[in-house]
């Protein structure tokens, strides 16, 4: 199953707008030329930015059966070298301006501002026949741990997304997320299989350039993680005049209840369909969605399973939960569940280890109507003085009371980090309203986040 091999059917329709319009025929020709210079089925590192070169390289590799490893173009050279040592790619598709690569490797092909660098050490990879793509989990781009995705994973998920979002050939999404991030990539995949036009830009949503491009190209849709919606809120999204915008999607973490309500309300007023979604790279991208008609009534919910998927809750003893409002681990079943992980090139020949079942690591419950709600991460639960505490719940509670805080910790010690001088008020709320002990509060200048806007709890300063 490789839907990118059918792209020729869209002919002269515009596939990409970057510096100009590129038709599907032109994209296919360029993409196949890039992949053709790799030749055999092997492993290629693709250092991605939101540009036509990264996109065409990815399309070519998937079409040609070459397995790309999508990495952020800004990855530190030491991390890149470590990954090259562990995986021994045959080539690296990257910017021609990458001094570290151009000094040590020969370029065998150039397109636009990218070069195909030939790695000096040749290694004959043993790649599983269904292996299509390697993506990092949403942690560090330098981690050696990748998610192994098959062609079926990629395209079954893309078909499902296109179905529930009702994507058609006249859609025009714009890139707001890195394409090496599963959410950003899923937007590209689900629109390309429908013959839509992807507007490619590296411009930030905080820039005039981005919004001018939206108006000029009559963009119809874009997606964002919670951090993007926090920025849109500060920019007073409700006052922006974008008549072409018809759909907004949100995933990559839980949007606060307040912003969830606000964007649902604003979008409903503007005639924009607002979809909240939930997913993990281990499931290619998406597992659930909240239908836009329910975005006010069920605000805060991750919704229902995507077409072709199934959600199950299990209690501590492994029993299936069948009654509403009982919390258990969320388990997902579907054809988009990845083959498993890889931590070195020797894992690339492994078979499907997940068998279509993913234990998400999230605690959840469903209501009387069958809509699911995340209550926290299993790993974000700690015990303080014998009491089981959800760090996510404490964060949400403090946010409701106007405190911009994040929580971390381990058993018998909870840490609360705040951006303001509100130590006294936080201490009072936690003691009196939550009746908690064993916590410390610290002021920090900014919340550490990765490229996708997700909070890096591991990078928070340790409290004594």
Give per-residue pLDDT as tens, 384-422: 655 667 787 788 888 888 888 888 887 667 889 988 888
136 and 190 belong to one structural domain = yes
What contacts 160, CB < 8 A, 6 or more positions away?
286, 306, 307, 308, 309, 334, 336
Q: Record the pTM.
A: 0.82
- Length of the chain, in residues: 464
Per the structure, how many domains does the chain have? 2
Domain termination residue (choose one: 375, 398, 419): 375
Please report the sign of the dihedral spanned by the C-alpha atoms of residue 221, residue 226, residue 229, residue 231. Answer: negative
Phi-psi region of 104 (alpha: psi -120 to 50; beta: other; left: phi over 0): alpha
Pairing of strands 247-250, 273-279: parallel
**Class of residue 19 by CB neighbours under 10 A (exposed 0-12, middle 13-18, buried 19+):** exposed
Q: Would you state the pLDDT for residue 140?
A: 43
Q: Do 72 and 209 have their domain in common?
A: yes
Same domain, 436 and 310: no
Does residue 380 lie in a domain region?
no
Give mean pLDDT, residues 316-334. Answer: 91
Burial of 46 (0-12, 13-18, 19+ CB in 10 A): buried
One domain for residues 332 and 190:
yes
* Alpha carbon distance 257, 274 (integer Å): 14
Q: How confident is the model at residue 167 (pLDDT cuts 50, 70, 90)?
A: very high
- Tell me what pLDDT residue 212 has: 92
Backbone angles phi and psi of 358, in degrees to 5: -125, 120
Q: Contact at 8 Å (CB) between 68 and 46? A: yes
Residue whose C-alpha is closest to residue 41's, from 71, 70, 62: 62
CA distance 237 to 272: 12
Please indicate, yes or no, whether residues 311 and 393 belong to a single structural domain of this protein. Answer: no
Q: Please tell me whether residues 227 and 328 are part of one structural domain.
A: yes
User: Are residues 318 and 397 both part of a single domain?
Assistant: no
* d(C-alpha 226, C-alpha 390), whole Å: 20
Helix (H) or strand (E) holding 286: strand 286-290
Sheet with 405-410: strands ordered across: 405-410, 413-418, 439-443
d(CA 187, CA 165): 11
Domain that holds residue 308: 3-375
Residue 383 is predicted with a pLDDT of 63
> In this predicted structure, what is the pLDDT of residue 52?
95
Same domain for 430 and 296: no
Q: What is the pLDDT of residues 101-156, one digit of tens each?
A: 888 888 888 899 999 999 988 788 889 999 999 998 754 445 678 999 999 999 99
């Amino acid at each position: 199953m490789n839907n990118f091999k059918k792209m020729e059917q869209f002919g002269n329709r515009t596939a990409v707008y970057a510096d100009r319009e590129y038709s599907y025929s032109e994209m296919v020709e360029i993409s196949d030329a890039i992949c053709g210079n790799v030749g055999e089925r092997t492993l290629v590192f693709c250092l991605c930015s939101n540009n036509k070169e990264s996109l065409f390289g990815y399309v070519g590799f998937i079409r040609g059966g070459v397995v790309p490893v999508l990495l952020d173009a800004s990855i530190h050279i030491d991390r890149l070298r470590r990954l090259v040592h562990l995986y021994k790619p045959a080539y690296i598709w990257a910017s021609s301006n990458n001094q570290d690569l151009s000094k040590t490797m020969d370029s065998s092909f150039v397109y636009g501002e990218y070069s195909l660098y030939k790695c000096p050490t040749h290694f004959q990879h043993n790649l599983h026949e269904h292996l299509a793509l390697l993506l990092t989990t949403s942690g560090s781009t330098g981690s050696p741990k990748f998610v192994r995705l098959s062609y079926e994973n990629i395209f079954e998920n893309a078909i499902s997304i296109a179905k529930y979002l009702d994507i058609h050939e006249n859609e025009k999404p714009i890139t707001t997320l890195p394409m090496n991030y599963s959410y950003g990539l899923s937007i590209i995949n689900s629109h390309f299989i429908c013959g839509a036009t992807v507007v490619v830009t590296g411009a930030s949503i905080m820039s005039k350039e981005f919004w001018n491009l939206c108006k000029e190209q009559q963009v119809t849709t874009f997606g964002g993680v919670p951090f993007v919606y926090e920025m849109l809120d500060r920019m007073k999204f409700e006052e922006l005049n974008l008549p072409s915008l018809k759909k907004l999607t949100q995933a990559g973490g839980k949007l606060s209840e307040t912003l969830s309500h606000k964007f649902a309300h604003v979008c409903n007023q503007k005639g924009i369909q607002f979809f909240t979604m939930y997913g993990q790279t281990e499931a290619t991208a998406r597992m659930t969605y909240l239908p836009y008609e329910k975005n006010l009534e069920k605000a805060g919910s991750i919704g229902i399973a995507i077409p072709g998927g199934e959600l199950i809750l299990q209690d501590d003893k492994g029993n299936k939960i069948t009654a509403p409002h009982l919390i258990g681990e969320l388990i997902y079943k579907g054809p988009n569940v990845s083959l498993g992980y890889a931590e070195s090139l020797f894992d690339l020949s492994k078979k499907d280890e997940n068998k279509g079942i993913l234990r998400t690591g999230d605690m959840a419950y469903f209501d009387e109507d069958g809509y699911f709600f995340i209550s926290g991460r299993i790993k974000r639960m700690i015990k303080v003085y014998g009491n089981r505490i959800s760090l996510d719940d404490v964060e949400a509670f403090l946010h409701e009371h106007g405190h911009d805080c994040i929580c971390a910790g381990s058993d018998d010690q909870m840490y609360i980090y705040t951006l303001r001088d509100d130590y006294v008020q936080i201490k009072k709320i936690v003691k009196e309203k939550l009746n908690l002990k064993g916590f410390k509060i610290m002021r920090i200048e900014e919340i550490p986040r990765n490229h996708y806007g997700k909070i890096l709890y591991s990078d928070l300063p340790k409290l004594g």
